[in-house]
Structure 1
Amino acid sequence: MIRSLAQEREHNGRTLAPSGTLPSGKGRLGRLGPALAGTAAGLFVFVLYVRTLAPTVLYYDDPDMLDAVMLQMQVAVLGITHPTGYPTYLTLTHFFTYLPVGDVAYRVNLASAAYAALAVGVVFGAGYLLSRRVVAAAVAAVAFGLGGAIWSQAVIAEVYTMNALFIALTLVCLLLWRDRERDRYLLLAALLCGLCLTHHLTSGLLLPASLLFVGLVDRRRLLEWRLMLKCAGLFLLGLTPYLYLPIRSWMDAPMEANNPSNFERFWYVVSGGNLTGSFFAYGPAELPGRLLFYWGHLTDNINPVLVMVGLTGAALMVARDRPVGLLLGFLFLGWAFYSIENDIPDINLYFIPTYLVLCLWTAVGLGALLTEAEHLTERLPRMPQRAILVVLSVALLLIPLIGVRETSAANDMSEANLGRQQVDAIAEKAAPNATILHHRSSAWYLVLVERRRQDLTLVDPYLHNTEVEYADIVWPADLTLKETDRRYGTDDFSGVKAAKIAAQKGPVYVLDSEYIPDPKRYEAFGFEVREVEENILYKLTPAE
């Protein structure tokens, strides 16, 4: 049998509360109380997310929204994204597009808010399993949910909030397996490990971490071949969303970036494609600077006081509960190392799982603090003792709220209407059968989701991946890169060649964005540039 934490505590003289049963003591709630508190934490952040949610289709912005507008379109039409494909995100989020609120793009944004709020609720559950303190778990969960990084992703279409949710669910299942000694939780954790991997490659670290945890709790369980066979089968079952990629490609999806219809292209997509070259970008000499870079983001996302409490909680976990301490430590160090060694524009978003782990440590540290406060005040009369503990609890609950207005303002996308303005400008002001030069823009949403202006030709000559046969750069053609280059001139990343070829066939426009150089620069290449919609759409006419 698995040795429970209560037995370990009795054996080793630990001061952690037993995990298998609710401890007796003052100021603790029954089973319904924690469930209500976790729900309240999730609803609280969900309301804040919805108040700051992007209201419609988004736009390209470097580095904050590199993929958001493309994801909105790809979710809506069940297309195929850039590496790593994100099949689980596409299929689950597609259900949100049927909600009777807002436009389709808004519903995809809303999915991110829902995933983030659910993640906060599950983080509360994990924090409560570790600390057995409602207040400690609530502080940790809300601190995670109000972090700038997770909030920024909860108000737009992105994959990171679902990643946080899956990670938290996997950890809760592992903790419940250890505490309740029921294999069904371990089997569910195995399924989630596979599912996590189909969503974000960094979550693959959960598999070795889970095996480490099981071995530390009771290594004999790893030798039970029937149990391990079931776990392996469920892990493989969790990988089945990958089948979406080739199947949807064979169905001729409206948007199939990188077209994973054979094994070579499939592996390119699911293994990270061109993103793999960004790992190990920094040498040992640059490590101190990268650590400071991470520390700056960490303290911007989580109150420094809670960071210190979290680090204390980490030390307590390693000293008092080695299996969980090493599980969380392995994940934290692995994700932190991968992130600080990676050189992509939005790498700060890869830090989010480390914030989640730190918040779980924070729950442990705060739980220990509350326990110590109870011990220090136990000789006081009942009423003064309760008053002191209530005041302390309220003070702790207020810590995550420090700076919440500033974080809300920094991540408020409720007035982000540029994407809608781009769509309307193209739809209303582009001439029939025109060519639009753009980069990963809302023009895709216009033709594929709203099914308007399908007379247009959309060409993205500014930046695309030359290492694979297909890429999402042209509408409506389905061509190899060589054919696309020959027909549309996309081998010239300045866009000048594409503009000259397009001008031979009809009207040509440039949709301005963060990445595209100033459209006025085309004047130096023999074009007359006229602003059709201020700072949005420009018409290029060859000078006579």
Structure 2
Amino acid sequence: MLKNIKSIFSCFPHLDRLLAVIVFCVSFTVYLMTLAPAIYIEDAAEFSAAVPILGIAHPSGFPLYMLLGKLFTILVPFGEMAWRVNLFSAATTSFALVVFYYAVKSMLTIARVSRFSHEDCLSERKRASSAEENWSNPSKSVIISFICFVSSLTLGFSQMIWHEATYAEVYPLYILFAISFIWCLAKWRETKDLRFVYILVFLMGLSLANHLSIIVYFPGIAFFLLLFWSRKILEFKLIALSIFLFILPLSLYLYFPIRAAANPEFYFKLINSGGAVQTAESVQSFASASLNNSANITQNSLAYLANISSDIFDEFPLIVLIISAAGLFFLFFRDKKLWFGILIFLGLGSFGVVGGLTHGQPYNGIVWWFLRYFLPYLLIPMAILFAFGLSGIFDFLSRFKFSKSIMAIVMVIIMVIVSSIPIQSLAKFWKINNKSRYWMAYDYNTQILDSLPRNAVLIANNHDMNNDIELFSLAYLQIIDKYRTDVTVISDTPMTRRPEGLKLGIDYFSLSKFEQRLRLIDRSFKFYAESPPEAGGGRKIFTTFPADTLPNSPYKSLSNGIVYQLYEKDKIGPLRSRESEASRPDFQPVLPRNVGADDFPRDDLTRNLAAKILYHRALFEMENNQSEKAQQTFLRALEIDLPMSEYYGTYLKRRTMLTLPPQTPPRAK
């Protein structure tokens, strides 16, 4: 039977290439099936709006992502633009898994996992000869290729890696660079070929043009190079060429002044009292703050580290964690230097991530916002240790003196069992990561625009987690889809262009959030009231929040179920008076798809957005004397919402206002 297995695989001299292609195809198919069909939450809508027009996104700007994303949307000339940018994430992640396959293959080779090559008493030449003889064995080579295949899919179907592959974000490219670093280090140690050092240094510089937080990998890379020191590293030619290769890709940051001169429609321009602050300066400030805080390791940092590290148990099936722990044990006896290198690599980067990305802030129990930075840093080494664990298990089984036929049967059984591990992840995380019916952000923001009359003004200002989702989604609809471009969107963020002459004041950002919101409303209202008709005067103004819930607000709001039309208090009757009813915006809201279902992704931002939509709907129903229906909608929102969200408090305050009896203003004597 063993001969039959060998003969079968001898028909595939390029087995690694075949399995790598299968890794790409399988993972890409899964990602495609669970891909978001339109704009998603967080910064996804921003990238969907900025990439097609080569715009300028928020700091650090991500010039490499912008250029590669634009190229990808050209090469894929079909489908909704947001879907194409989402697809770029899927393709990038699948390619990263292919690189991971070859990285693991190289690391298993240099670790000499065979029982024939781990004796310390052997000379280097004998060990190399023994390892070469072992890896040339067809059956063992097949097992190693199989381990790489399973490990790659196990990593690809971990919850966070899969999640990032299904919508527009810079993190799939971030993950690709992280894995590429490991591949370069493994190939350099395996072959001692300095070309891999050159590739590594170039990729390090290039990765900074995608996301600056990748720098947390650099201390671990430096330690690895020192651990496996070579005199050739000190050669002047290598040092000079490495510096050049590192600096060269940083020239991609010239993207900012070039594109800023073109003044693209999507331009995240920071404003201060002195005027515009270019994105390049914002990048410098962002990088400086992160680097300064990376060394600021406190007790709070350890609390962050402990909390996030515990999330590793939600990323893989339990069997993967057990085998990974075994892999750490096996690796210690196979290659102590590599074992030590992996631990130090994890330690240096972990504290760098926590220190740099929390910016020295005390631990507040909220960690979702940088899980995508930190978890890949843990997940990739965990998947490598998983591969070493599998290789150790197969190596352990090979020590038993079974007949060749029995050994072949045992190996096949083990391979079948191991093959089920990525399938377990697939089943476990499918519902969590399936965004194929995710229309919530698209529907909600489309309805916002649909609910507005021609040439309306929309003041979008929220202090909850979904402020960016709202603004970026509206930008996508107006810039890319060219939908309702007659509507003017105003906010206090760098990405909306307020009309010339609408100033918020140099003390604006020193005000409380309620004072900021009231000033934004007040100055916008007065600006359009005082402007002549040809300059936009007399336009109807709406807000994404009820303005009458603000302290000392001189304004009233009437809901259309999605947004609120703005009125001056002395020019409209009480909320539930006939005068108020006659002024109500004429629009009948429809709940976005997925909001009423139980199968939408339950990440924090989606929960917050869904609850916010339902709170708006409940207030609209209360204004229309549908108290029982409003109560049901409110309970549904409360079930979904995060604890202590902003809109829960806003809802309660406005509900109290609506339940008060209408008050008639006193008559003048």
Pick one of 415, 428, 444 that aligns with 2:450: 428
8 Å CA contact 1:28, 1:134 repeated in 2: no
State how far apart, in whole Å, the 2-side matches of 1:459 and 1:522 are. Answer: 18
Pick one of 458, 462, 477 that aligns with 1:446: 477
Residues 292, 259 of structure 1: CA spacing in aligned structure 2 closer, same or farther, 3 A cutoff? closer
Matches within 5 A, 1:387-406: 387-406=409-428
- The Cα of 1:307 is off from its aligned counterpart by 2.2
The residue that corresponds to 1:348 in the other structure is 371
Pick one of 53, 70, 87 that aligns with 2:35: 53
State how far apart, in whole Å, the 1-side matches of 2:278 and 2:266 are. Answer: 19
Matches within 5 A, 1:481-496: 484-486=503-505, 493-494=513-514, 495-496=517-518
Q: What amino acid does structure 2 have at the position aligned with 1:542?
A: E
Deviation per CA, 1:37-96: give whole Å up to 9, x if none: 12212222221111111111234xxxxx2x222122121221222222211111111123
TM-score, normalised via structure 2 length: 0.67
State how far apart, in whole Å, the 2-side matches of 1:354 and 1:538 are. Answer: 45
Matches within 5 A, 1:33-432: 33-59=15-41, 65=42, 67-98=43-74, 99-132=76-109, 133-258=144-269, 266-272=280-286, 276=290, 279=293, 284-286=298-300, 289-317=303-331, 319-322=333-336, 324-341=338-355, 342-343=357-358, 345-350=368-373, 351-376=375-400, 379-432=401-454
8 Å CA contact 1:73, 1:445 repeated in 2: yes
State how far apart, in whole Å, the 2-side matches of 1:273 and 1:170 are. Answer: 21
Residues 316, 54 of structure 1: CA spacing in aligned structure 2 closer, same or farther, 3 A cutoff? same
Report % sequence identity: 21
| Larger RCO (CA within 8 A; separation ≥ 6) | 1
Residues 423, 292 of structure 1: CA spacing in aligned structure 2 closer, same or farther, 3 A cutoff? closer
| Bigger mean CA offset, 187-196 vs 138-147 | 138-147
State how far apart, in whole Å, the 2-side matches of 1:522 and 1:106 are. Answer: 38
Deviation per CA, 1:449-469: give whole Å up to 9, x if none: 2233333322224xx5xxxxx
Q: What amino acid does structure 1 have at the position aligned with 2:92?
A: Y
State how far apart, in whole Å, the 2-side matches of 1:120 and 1:457 are. Answer: 44
| Bigger mean CA offset, 79-88 vs 103-112 | 79-88
State how far apart, in whole Å, the 2-side matches of 1:311 and 1:477 are. Answer: 59
Number of equivalent positions: 493
| Bigger mean CA offset, 256-265 vs 346-355 | 256-265
8 Å CA contact 1:488, 1:502 repeated in 2: no
Residues 181, 493 of structure 1: CA spacing in aligned structure 2 closer, same or farther, 3 A cutoff? same
State how far apart, in whole Å, the 1-side matches of 2:177 and 2:69 are. Answer: 14
TM-score, normalised via structure 1 length: 0.81
Residues 26, 355 of structure 1: CA spacing in aligned structure 2 closer, same or farther, 3 A cutoff? farther
8 Å CA contact 2:61, 2:279 repeated in 1: no
State how far apart, in whole Å, the 1-side matches of 2:552 and 2:435 are. Answer: 36
State how far apart, in whole Å, the 2-side matches of 1:421 and 1:520 are. Answer: 26
State how far apart, in whole Å, the 2-side matches of 1:304 and 1:289 are. Answer: 24
8 Å CA contact 1:126, 1:171 repeated in 2: yes
8 Å CA contact 1:128, 1:363 repeated in 2: no
State how far apart, in whole Å, the 2-side matches of 1:405 and 1:478 are. Answer: 54
Residues 499, 121 of structure 1: CA spacing in aligned structure 2 closer, same or farther, 3 A cutoff? same
The residue that corresponds to 2:542 in the other structure is 509
State how far apart, in whole Å, the 2-side matches of 1:220 and 1:112 are. Answer: 40
Q: Does 1:460 align with 2:483?
A: no
- Structure number with bigger Rg: 2
8 Å CA contact 1:74, 1:80 repeated in 2: yes
Q: What amino acid does structure 2 have at the position aligned with 1:176?
A: K
Deviation per CA, 1:352-402: give whole Å up to 9, x if none: 1221122112112211211111222xx322222111101111111212322
- What secondary structure does 2:398 align onto? helix
8 Å CA contact 1:83, 1:270 repeated in 2: no
Q: Give unmatched runs, 5+ long, in structure 2.
A: 1-5, 110-143, 359-366, 461-466, 529-538, 572-669
8 Å CA contact 2:295, 2:352 repeated in 1: no
8 Å CA contact 1:50, 1:110 repeated in 2: yes
The residue that corresponds to 2:650 in the other structure is none
Residues 297, 394 of structure 1: CA spacing in aligned structure 2 closer, same or farther, 3 A cutoff? same
The residue that corresponds to 2:633 in the other structure is none
8 Å CA contact 1:173, 1:185 repeated in 2: yes
| Bigger mean CA offset, 354-363 vs 522-531 | 522-531
8 Å CA contact 2:49, 2:480 repeated in 1: yes
- What secondary structure does 1:69 align onto? helix
What is the aligned-residue RMSD (CA, Å)?
3.3
| Bigger mean CA offset, 95-104 vs 489-498 | 489-498
Residues 412, 275 of structure 1: CA spacing in aligned structure 2 closer, same or farther, 3 A cutoff? farther
Deviation per CA, 1:88-109: give whole Å up to 9, x if none: 1111111232323321111111
